[in-house]
Amino acid sequence: MYAFRHTSLSVSAGNVWLDAMLAHAPDVRGIAVLVQNGCILHADLRDAVIAKRLQDAHFATLSVDLLTRYEEQRDVDARYNVPLMSARLDAVLEWLDHQPGFDRLALALVASGTACGAAVRSAARNRDRVSALVCRGGRPDLAGAGPLRGLGCPTRFITGGADAGAPRYQRAAYELVGSMRDWQSIEQADSDFRAPGSLDQAARLTLDWVVEHLPPPKPPESEAEAVATPTAAARDREAEGEQ
């Protein structure tokens, strides 16, 4: 079992700070960015289950709430502002690539809710950076036809067989996806994957897609870069704490 370090963060995106939780360990295989439009630190345990499954397979995870707490509480329409959320996700990816060592890791996007639309748009704009995309239920259709057709990464849709919105929203979006695509329906699951065992199935399907499509980390370009990896930084902090 790998020892993951969990760090609560605030990531700058335009004129706001986004709540985030980073989990990383030495020599991880890649990183999955989990995005949603609800308070990640308190409300949605579903993404925590999926993040834990990815961590157990030795992937770093960055869980990000694309809305601020103020927006969630005061603006009921904020979660449908896909252009705003996708621009913020672009900022998160840029921030991540400025952290030592993380730019060497292949990256997957894992989205739920209306953040699926934001993830599609961001993946279409960042074709050279995003290696895989997973949308769990949600509203990928909100991205629009252009971004769906413009996807360049392998994309998996995980839907609930008991979700009445799946044929209208998710299937219609899926048919527009321009990259390699895969449709998985969990028969007993509703839109929130609350049926017994359905969330565990969704977590397994997410992990399988990430494992299949994320390439291994790039080697450091120099000795200086190797010293600056998250692994070395974590060890340095641990050594300082023991002194």
pLDDT per residue as tens digits for the range 135-181: 999 999 999 999 999 999 999 999 999 999 899 999 999 999 999 99
What's the rounded mean pLDDT across residues 78-105? 95
Percent of the chain with pLDDT over 70: 87
Strands 16-24 and 155-160: unpaired
Residue 232 has pLDDT above 60, yes or no: no
Closest to 184 measured CA to CA, from 150, 207, 153, 216? 207
Q: In what order do the strands lie in the sheet with 155-160?
A: 5-13, 16-24, 60-65, 31-36, 107-112, 130-136, 155-160, 181-186
Residue 234 has pLDDT above 80, yes or no: no
Confidence band for 236, pLDDT divided at 50, 70 and 90: very low
Q: What is the pLDDT of residue 242?
A: 40
**Which residue did the predictor score with more confidence, 64 or 223?**
64
Q: What is the pLDDT of residue 24?
A: 96
The residues, ordered by sequence, that sit 6+ positions from 229 with a Cβ below 8 Å of its Cβ are 100, 101, 104, 220
CA-CA-CA-CA dihedral for 182, 183, 189, 193, to nearest 10: 40
What's the rounded mean pLDDT across residues 183-192? 94
Pick the CATH number of 5-242 from 3.40.50.300, 3.90.1640.10, 3.10.620.30, 3.40.50.1820: 3.40.50.1820
Residue 223 has pLDDT above 60, yes or no: no
CB–CB of 53/13 below 8 Å?
no
Q: What is the pLDDT of residue 39?
A: 54
User: How far is it, in rounded angstroms, from Cα 41 to Cα 64?
Assistant: 9
Helix (H) or strand (E) holding 133: strand 130-136
User: How far is it, in rounded angstroms, from Cα 147 to Cα 139?
Assistant: 13
* pLDDT tens readout for residues 114-145: 999 999 999 999 999 999 999 999 999 999 99
* pLDDT tens readout for residues 19-46: 999 999 999 999 999 998 865 444 467 8
Confidence band for 199, pLDDT divided at 50, 70 and 90: very high
Residues in the chain: 243
pTM of the predicted structure, to 2 decimals: 0.88
CA-CA-CA-CA dihedral for 8, 51, 96, 239, to nearest 10: 60
Q: What is the pLDDT of residue 19?
A: 92
The residues, ordered by sequence, that sit 6+ positions from 218 with a Cβ below 8 Å of its Cβ are 104
What's the rounded mean pLDDT across residues 70-80? 88
Q: Please give the backbone phi and psi of residue 181, each rounded to the nearest 5 degrees, phi first.
A: -140, 160
- Give the Å distances, CA to CA, from 171 to 45, 108, 154, 177: 26, 21, 16, 10
Computed over every residue of the chain, the mean pLDDT equals: 88
